[in-house]
Structure 1
Amino acid sequence: MISNLSHINDQAVIGKDVTIDPFTVIHENVKIGAGTWIGSNVTIYPGAIIGENCKIFPGAVISAVPQDLKFQGEESTVEIGDNTTIRECVTINRGTIDKRMTKVGSNCLLMAYVHIAHDCILGNHVIIANAVQVAGHVNIDDYAFIGGSSAVHQFVKVGVHSMISGGSLVRKDVPPYTKAAREPLSYAGINSLGLRRRGFSSEAISNIQEVYRYLFLNSLNNSRALEEIEINLPATKERDEIINFIRSSERGVMKGYIN
């Protein structure tokens, strides 16, 4: 299961039934969970903690030091959850003193040539398509999808169940349940197809749409829109999640609908 043409440091902890193909290098202070498959020519640096039943394809580099001039060699990690697939030539840098951790959740798919920079936090069931570049300190919530060749600015937040069109420049926060497209990046409706696939009821989807009518289609500024939402729309988990996301945004949220 482990090729004698790979190099595994004696201090690495390798779980049961792990497969490691030839010419892969695993450094000290690495933990790999049971049932994980690691292809050839993968490099895993110190600080990597990889879950069970993951698949890591050739050329991936995990837990290399951050590409951040402020980094002073502090101890930090890359943590990857269970059942996550990391395709060819993906790079995931470990954290800095900010969070001391870069985290990718469980059941995620990072397609080929994706870069995840230092101190990023990805939730579960996140899909990031080919050649997406994610700068440092980005948060991507559960079930988010980012289309291929997009670039995500540092400190941006991407909300739960959102979908970003391929080739996008993501400079502002993308609220939960939305679709984001065009240039500059703007509201393109809610991710209704994705929500239906994940079991959201027609009523819940309709309620989410009504929230975003106030935010993006009624020519109100965000503060006024949030006030109107709280007055006029019934409290739901999704409504309150959207309100909290908008109010806590530090970079500001993407634009409303543009013709």
Structure 2
Amino acid sequence: MENKTAQIRLPFWETVRRSFMYVLTNFDVYLKVTALWFAIILYEMFTDFPSICNLSAEGCTGGWMQNVSILLLMLASIAIVIAFCRVIVLKVPSSYFSWAFGKREIVYLLYNILLIAIITLPSIVLIFSWAYFGRMLGMPEGFYNVSLIIPLLLAIYFSRLFLVFPAIAVDDRKMTLKASFKLAEGNANKIFWGQILMTLPVVLLMALLSIIFKLIDSDGYVVRFVFVLLVFALSFLDSCFKASFFAHIYQYFTFYRDKAEENKE
């Protein structure tokens, strides 16, 4: 892209629609990329790891096993996102119980941590600065509440960096943070709110599941086992929805990026 007029405009609703429809019409891909992780989770639950205690009356006791369980779910989500992105973008065939966890997943995790830091650190500085000057000027309480939108505004602004995540999945080394930020110019709101929309179905289903569990009012092992399994299934589905959105916006932006590079030649 040589100038402002060539700025890419993401078709928001079409992208969201395509992202949802891909997952729903290719449910076998969901089953394939999550099968191994379901097997690991089942093993974890049968060996008294604390996944299932989350829905027990006494709750979880904590400790290293609980931390391992949380870490395992996080790593599973990353691996699922990467595998799903590769199926969409590269048309890499997926198979049941295939294992792939290595450099891509580690880099993806590190970039997640970096992005959280990029949003969190300035948020802390700005919120404290806002409070400090508000106190100096004797501003009313409502003035301080405004500072709560700072993290949201920064998250929207830096969502232009999100293209780096599907790029990691497909080994696109040209898509650096700087390149992603430049390429996605003018699309921060679309990328951010698109991700939010992709999470809504699972959030609503999780809420419904929680209500049903409370209505059943049973602390039996079988009931807890089924509900925990459903929670993991929805969590993995959420990862696939996000991956689908990542992959579709990546395809859209890189199509115009590559086209612009060809025109320069």
Please state which structure has a larger fraction of its residues in strand. 1
Q: Which has the higher contact order (CA 8 A, sep 6+)?
A: 2
TM-score interval, smaller chain: under 0.3
Bigger Rg over Cα: 2
TM-score, reference length from structure 1: 0.21
Instruction: Please identify which structure carries the higher helix content.
Output: 2
What TM-score, normalized by structure 2, do the two folds share?
0.21
